[in-house]
Amino acid sequence: MPHAVEVTGLRKVYGEKRAVDGLDLHVAHGEVVAILGPNGAGKTTTVEILEGFRSRDGGDVRVLGQDPQDGDRAWRSRLGIVLQSNNDLAEATVAELVRHFARFFPDPRDPDEVIASVGLQDKVRTRARQLSGGQRRRLDVALGIVGRPELLFLDEPTTGFDPQARRSFWDLVEQLAADGTTILLTTHYLEEAERLAGRVVVVRDGQVVAEGAPADLGGRTARQALVRWTQDGQTREVRTDTPTTTVVELTGVLGGEVPGLQVLRPTLEDVYLSLIDGAES
């Protein structure tokens, strides 16, 4: 089957600024992919083009087999979209909004089940303008998933969530993925990307600079352990794929305990920061 998302050579220019500069991206059906990058890297522009909200200046784009610029109502009904912010229809209640949006889709989920899944069952009669920031974000998520989408776009979905709400949302996303929903996620929370995504794509200056499983991102060299110790009054260190072997060798050379021994493994954050080093923050 074709990919759910196929992007080749995508370009978008604003005056002298190349917001997206030859970006390639492919997302398989049923895959969960996280797009990471600093502010101004081109993440949101790319996602808005895929959603059909923004035109492009070059490249080829297919989302669920169709060019988003020509997307009709039937095509849009197959998408779920959670934007970075949404403050419209503020006078409607949570229940009214979710039930209203459900009617836009041919096979929606049960609105009450959706409201409960995002933790707003106690706010069904509350107007949207009276919700806290985190609660409004949960409502945005409910509106994005009520249509039972084939492809779900999540743009910074857990901004404003407390830790418990964030983990509850992660459980929901994992259930959607288990049911076969394709998910494209942008997030600033690296823990979120590591928990949810099978593949991470790092964007810098409008281009993809690295991609892969969270545990493999950056390649072998970026994932090497750092062994640090003190010898002859000086701090020494070495990067290695086999830190245990290195420690055993040091034990033999130093005749027992290794002074100041540290074995440090790079986190996803370490690798990510090395990949975007020098990009606009």
Give how far Cα 52 sits from Cα of 2, 68, 76, 153, 170, Å: 19, 5, 9, 12, 26
- DSSP secondary structure string, 92-134? SBHHHHHHHHHTTSSSPPPHHHHHHHTT-GGGTTSBGGGS-HH
Question: Nearest-5° angle of CA 97, CA 35, CA 74?
Answer: 45
Kindly state the tokens that stand for 136. 């409004």
d(CA 75, CA 66): 8
pLDDT at 271: 84
Give the chain's mean pLDDT. Answer: 89
pLDDT at 280: 43
Q: Which residues contact 255 (CB under 8 A, 6 or more apart)?
A: none
pLDDT at 279: 46
Kindly state the tokens that stand for 206. 């409008």
Q: Are 82 and 157 in contact (CB under 8 A)?
A: yes
pLDDT at 281: 34
d(CA 65, CA 111): 29
Q: Which residues contact 260 (CB under 8 A, 6 or more apart)?
A: 228, 229, 230, 235
What confidence tier does 222 reach under pLDDT thresholds 50, 70, 90? low
CA-closest candidate to residue 202, choices 73, 190, 191? 190
d(CA 171, CA 169): 5
User: What percentage of residues in the chain have a pLDDT greater than 90?
Assistant: 61
Q: Which residues contact 8 (CB under 8 A, 6 or more apart)?
A: 24, 59, 60, 61
d(CA 117, CA 120): 8
pLDDT at 189: 86
> Strand 151-155 relative to strand 182-186: parallel, antiparallel, unpaired?
parallel
Give per-residue pLDDT as tens, 35-64.
Answer: 999 888 999 899 999 999 999 999 999 999
Q: Is the pLDDT confidence value at 138 over 50?
A: yes
Q: Are 81 and 41 in contact (CB under 8 A)?
A: no
Pick the range with the lowest mean pLDDT from 57-61, 86-90, 227-231, 240-244: 86-90
Q: Provide the H-helix boundaries in the chain.
A: 43-51, 73-76, 94-102, 111-117, 133-145, 163-178, 190-196, 219-222, 243-254, 268-275
Q: Are 192 and 166 in contact (CB under 8 A)?
A: yes
Give per-residue pLDDT as tens, 102-118.
Answer: 999 999 999 999 999 88
pLDDT at 32: 96
Say what the pTM is: 0.80
- DSSP secondary structure string, 14-33? ETTEEEEEEEEEEE-TT-EE
Give per-residue pLDDT as tens, 147-162.
Answer: 999 999 998 888 777 7
CA-closest candidate to residue 65, choices 207, 182, 155? 182
